[in-house]
Amino acid sequence: ADVVEDQKFSLKEVLDTFQSCLTDNKEILIDQYVAGWRGLVRFMNSLGTIFSFISKDAVGKIQIMANHRKGGHGEQYETVQSMVKYELAHGLVDLTKRADHPESGCRTTLRLHRALRWLELFLERLRTSGEDGKTSAMCAEAYNESLAHHHSWIIRKASLMAFCALPGRATFFEVMNVGTPDQVVTMLGEALPLIAEVYQITEELYAKNNLLDLP
């Protein structure tokens, strides 16, 4: 029974993993960032098959980043900072249109980074919502404020349709497997500032290097 208990999914572990990707000098460890995303994908998959089209893209991008880490220049991909430096210095990023480097670490991380903002906004809404809060509406609002700006019409329609299938707030909190609703709210209150920090650091790094619109 203990084994089963240990394997049970908890959103707290996922958020802890994201927090652990920040080093003391505020660099972002790619292994931990990717591990955080793996956990999120497990979470999304536990929300039902309708979310699989969403998680499929994330899985592909997680794999691209894992491959960079495993590749011949893996040590250059230790942190987001070292990756940006390395790829820019060696002309490994398509800056204006997709061409020779459709799987650069920079453009791939940018997609995950934008999605992280969505997650942050969504979890913040969940945290402050009342018992009768509608998860699908919160998820859609968070999406429209963030990721939707970067998606085509067809992806936006499909995403908004998927959100409608989200379980209600009570079930959603149970799936998180953190404890009582009060404990979930407390956990989110602790975890979200750190997620926001990871997002902010990446955003500033990308802005400084003019990478926020990579094709």
List residues binding ligand 1PW (CB under 6 A): 40, 44, 54, 57-58, 111, 114-115, 118-119, 147, 155, 159
The CA distance from 6 to 204, in Å, is 37
Closest distance of CB 77 from ligand 1PW, Å = 18
Nearer to ligand 1PW, 155 or 194 (CB): 155
Give the separation between CA 17 and CA 174, rounded to whole angstroms.
Answer: 20
Runs of H (alpha helix) within 71-168: 80-89, 105-128, 135-145, 153-164
Tell the smallest beta-carbon distance from residue 68 to ligand 1PW (Å).
Answer: 15
Q: Which is nearer to ligand 1PW, 26 or 111 (CB)?
A: 111
Quote helix, strand, coil % in the chain, to nearest 5. 70, 0, 25
| Cα–Cα dist 28/20, whole Å | 9
Which lies closer to ligand 1PW via its Cβ, residue 57 or residue 75? 57
Smallest separation, CB 86 to ligand 1PW (Å) = 21
Cβ at position 116, least distance to ligand 1PW in Å: 8
Residue number with CB closer to ligand 1PW (114 or 169): 114
Distances (CA, A) of 71 to 106, 123, 134: 15, 34, 44
Distance of closest approach, residue 75 Cβ to ligand 1PW, in angstroms? 25
Neighbour-count burial of 111, counting CB atoms closer than 10 A to its CB (0-12 exposed, 13-18 middle, 19+ buried): middle
Of 75 and 98, nearer to ligand 1PW (C-beta) is 98
